[in-house]
Amino acid sequence: MRTELGAGLLAQQASASPKYLYDALGSKLFEAICELPEYYPTRTEAAIFERYLRDIGQSVGKGVTLIDLGAGNCAKAARLFPVLQPVQYVPVDISVDFLRDAIERLRLRYPVVRMTGVGMDFSCSLELPAEVRRDKRLFFYPGSSIGNFTPEEAACMLGRIRAACEAGGGLLIGVDLVKERRVLDRAYDDALGVTAAFNLNLLRHLNLLLDADFDVSDWRHLAFFNDAQGRIEMHLEARRSVAVRWSGGQRVFREGERIHTENSYKYTRQDFLQLLERAGFGRVKTWTDERGWFMVCHAHAV
């Protein structure tokens, strides 16, 4: 982890993986982002699930092993319990303490569902523990988080999911679709500054992980849609020239220099279906909202 972060900070274009946005405070800030009027993905996806839940349940079937990637507070998966009736629920998240608390709350509501929490960086590996059932594995990856990866990385990620599906497995995934730039820009730079706080909190997390000396007041949040790449980009931009030191390295960031913290790629329906096909999925069923802003897919491992 230290090697990865240090290499990213010393690269010509400094960067840090978005997975490090989600420490305990970052996870709570993201929960707040999901309540913002500008941040359409969460409520649009939720509306799709609410409207088509029975149809989705029929497509997936009951008695699944529900593997929730980036589970967070587990709320999205919990909405599926009544229709999917999972035999086992496997929430996976990098923020272990946050996940542990969420599982304990969920166990009170669904005591008959076997729950196996996994603290793991699933962007690198999907080596699940032996106690995770192999039967009817359904990987649940909501929230358009697949957009954090480049299309090439997304194809590899989907390939790892396909390899871990086993016989009769599948994928239920949320995907953000291409739309007006104005809508996208507002979603990632809200008026209250919650997204800015979420992004800036990364520096506090880096201070902890690397024994670094970032001063949050030296940096500003920057987010914009990159037309050429088809993605939202989030950066932290130095307000002034600043020297930063950490265990094993140091760097002077000039005024205006940036640390690239997140991408969020937006897809057309056809482009994403092709990505699923490349990864080994087929018999895909899709659901969208009335404006065509967001898509939910159920894909079978083939």
Note the pLDDT tens digit of each residue in 237-296: 999 999 999 999 999 999 999 999 999 999 999 999 999 999 999 999 999 999 999 999
Are 105 and 174 contained in the same domain? yes
Prediction pTM value = 0.89
Count up the domains in the chain and report the number: 2
Are 66 and 124 contained in the same domain? yes
Dist CA 117 CA 232 (whole Å): 31
Are 217 and 144 contained in the same domain? no
**Residue 295 falls within a domain, yes or no?**
yes
198: its two tokens: 């979420």
**Residue 146 falls within a domain, yes or no?**
yes
What per-residue confidence (pLDDT) applies to 121? Answer: 87
Are 54 and 171 contained in the same domain? yes
DSSP-derived letter for residue 34 is T
Are 61 and 175 contained in the same domain? yes
- CA end-to-end span of the chain: 35
Are 55 and 144 contained in the same domain? yes
Are 154 and 78 contained in the same domain? yes
What per-residue confidence (pLDDT) applies to 202? Answer: 98
What per-residue confidence (pLDDT) applies to 166? Answer: 80
What per-residue confidence (pLDDT) applies to 160? Answer: 95
**Residue 74 falls within a domain, yes or no?**
yes
User: Which has the closest alpha carbon to 29: 238, 239, 192?
Assistant: 192
**Residue 259 falls within a domain, yes or no?**
yes
What per-residue confidence (pLDDT) applies to 48? Answer: 98
Are 136 and 205 contained in the same domain? no
Of all helices (H) and strands (E), which one includes residue 44?
helix 40-60
**Residue 29 falls within a domain, yes or no?**
no
Q: What is the CATH number of the domain that holds 69?
A: 3.40.50.150
Are 162 and 228 contained in the same domain? no
Are 252 and 284 contained in the same domain? no
DSSP-derived letter for residue 267 is B
**Residue 26 falls within a domain, yes or no?**
no
**Residue 64 falls within a domain, yes or no?**
yes
What per-residue confidence (pLDDT) applies to 97? Answer: 84
Are 10 and 154 contained in the same domain? no
Domain, as residue range, for 97: 40-179+266-301
What per-residue confidence (pLDDT) applies to 125? Answer: 84
Residues whose CB is less than 8 angstroms from the CB of residue 37 and which lie 6 or more positions away in sequence, other chains included: none
Residues whose CB is less than 8 angstroms from the CB of residue 274 and which lie 6 or more positions away in sequence, other chains included: none
Taking 50 as the pLDDT cut, the residues of the chain under it are none
Are 119 and 216 contained in the same domain? no
